[in-house]
Chain A
Amino acid sequence: MTMLFIIASLEALLAVIALAELGLEISLAAFGAILLLYLWVSTHDVKGRYTHLQRSEVPWLYDGIAEMARKAGLAMPKIYILDDYIPTAYSFKDTIVLSLGLFEVLDREEILAVAAHELGHIKNGDTKMFPLIAYGRYLMMVFTAVLIILTRDTAVSLASLTLLGLYEVVRANFHKEREFAADETALRLLETPMSLKRALEELKYYEDLRVGVKSSTLPSIEPTIDRNKRQKVQIIETHPSYDERIFRILVEMHGNNMFNNRVQ
């Protein structure tokens, strides 16, 4: 996080040095715009295909999350159910979103494991940090474009592009580490930690079936689920693969014994 802040500050400094007063004005305007965006987003609630879950609707889920929140020392988060048949979950502020698709492919313990991972993000402060990092990314992009267009100086353009590239790499690594950290927190919150591994395995199976359908063991299945269209192609992966996460969970749960057993 500190590293990202340093890179963004260097980019702003570069703008001030290269463009003098205009650079300072652009920097201040950009920070102001981002601040306004942050305030607007943080004061507006979600709209659309979300349903705010009440305890009476799914008591086992509500109580399960309440118990884990208590263990984590957090206030009860808001739970939203998303009308989407693709299994997915995410969190922002003090809110956990679970798609209806999750309820079709996972059992209760596994759904709670997915919720525990999202609680992990809240507990670890990721839901506050991730938006800041995203805004920082927009700032970096704006500054780089402005510097290239206004200075028309090769050295300045190269320097700003390098800083942008550096920001992207550090951001991707940071996101990956936070995903692993959320899994680790989830393992401590869950009554049955293995349910997180099972959930990830099932979600991986779902993804594989969707993506690698031609080489699937079920030759007749050709799901053309429109998630492909929804997802942008990432140049730098910000999320670890399911396999990486499952491996880390096994290491976390078994420690070095796993490797010792294998050697024996």
Chain B
Amino acid sequence: MEPHEFKLTEEGIKAVLPPLEAEIMEHMWRLKVATAGQVYEYMKEKHPDIRRSTISILMNRLCERGLLKRSVEKGRGGMRYVYSITSTREEFEEKVVQSILDALMTNFKEATYAYLSKIKK
């Protein structure tokens, strides 16, 4: 996933993802693989009014963003979708930093170099 926006006022991955999607991803990075139902049970504790539809829509949105992938699993409980992460949190953060620095180097090369060398010292 290539982030297209960076919100300076938000913390952590909420700077590049909408809040609920960020929360889902935080949880998914811990679980690695989960169903929408399992994520719903977790999210319900923090957001009692949240509905299954919201979680399903958001998890499929995360699939569209390339952060999750969806597969069909046939198990004892019948057929269901199982979602899994496509990259670790570290890989994702690395990609975010790369994208931002690439954008800064393209648009503000001198200032970016100057600031990075200042940080190095």
A210 to B53, CA, bound (A): 10
Contacts of A76 in B (CB 8 A): none
Other-chain residue from A53, A83, A206, A224 in contact with B72 (beta carbon distance below 8 A): A83
CB <8 Å contact, B57 and A61: no
CB <8 Å contact, A221 and B74: no
CB <8 Å contact, B54 and A58: no
Other-chain residue from A53, A85, A104, A220 in contact with B21 (beta carbon distance below 8 A): A220
With A223-B61, A224-B64, A225-B60 known as contacts, the answer to whether A104 contacts B51 (CB < 8 A) is no
Is the CB of A51 closer than 8 A to any CB of chain B? yes
A83 to B80, CA, bound (A): 9
Is the CB of B20 closer than 8 A to any CB of chain A? yes
- Chain A min CB distance to B22 (Å): 9
Contacts of A223 in B (CB 8 A): 57-58, 60-61
A202 to B37, CA, bound (A): 15
Contacts of A202 in B (CB 8 A): 51-53
A100 to B58, CA, bound (A): 16
Chain B: number of interface residues, binned into ranges: 20 to 34
Is the CB of A125 closer than 8 A to any CB of chain B? no
Is the CB of A38 closer than 8 A to any CB of chain B? no
Other-chain residue from B57, B70, B77, B79 in contact with A209 (beta carbon distance below 8 A): B57
CB <8 Å contact, A105 and B78: no
Contacts of A156 in B (CB 8 A): none
Contacts of A83 in B (CB 8 A): 72
- Chain B min CB distance to A222 (Å): 7
Beta-carbon contacts under 8 Å, B47-73 to A: 51-58, 60-61, 64, 70, 72
A156 to B78, CA, bound (A): 57
A57 to B115, CA, bound (A): 60
With A222-B18, A224-B64 known as contacts, the answer to whether A103 contacts B51 (CB < 8 A) is no
With A104-B37, A220-B20, A223-B58 known as contacts, the answer to whether A205 contacts B51 (CB < 8 A) is yes
Is the CB of A97 closer than 8 A to any CB of chain B? no
Please, what's the 1-or-0 string for B20-58, where 1 marks a CB less than 8 Å from any CB in chain A? Answer: 110000000000000111000000000000011111111
- Chain B min CB distance to A58 (Å): 3
- Report the interface size for chain A: residues with CB under 8 A from the other chain: 27
CB <8 Å contact, B81 and A100: yes
With A58-B78, A221-B18, A222-B18 known as contacts, the answer to whether A104 contacts B36 (CB < 8 A) is yes
Other-chain residue from A205, A221, A224 in contact with B58 (beta carbon distance below 8 A): A221
A251 to B77, CA, bound (A): 36
- Chain A min CB distance to B79 (Å): 5
Is the CB of A218 closer than 8 A to any CB of chain B? yes
- Chain A min CB distance to B73 (Å): 10
CB <8 Å contact, B20 and A218: yes
With A85-B60, A100-B72, A100-B81 known as contacts, the answer to whether A220 contacts B37 (CB < 8 A) is no
Residues of B within 8 A of A (CB): 18-21, 35-37, 51-58, 60-61, 64, 70, 72, 74, 77-81
Q: List 7 A-B contacts (CB under 8 A).
A: A51-B79, A104-B55, A221-B20, A221-B54, A221-B57, A223-B58, A224-B64
Q: Told that A100-B81, A106-B52 touch, could you supply 13 new A-B pairs with CB distance under 8 A?
A: A53-B79, A85-B70, A100-B79, A100-B80, A104-B36, A104-B37, A105-B51, A202-B52, A218-B20, A220-B18, A222-B61, A224-B61, A225-B60
Residues of A within 8 A of B (CB): 51, 53, 57-58, 61, 81, 83, 85, 87, 100-101, 103-106, 202, 205-206, 209-210, 218, 220-225
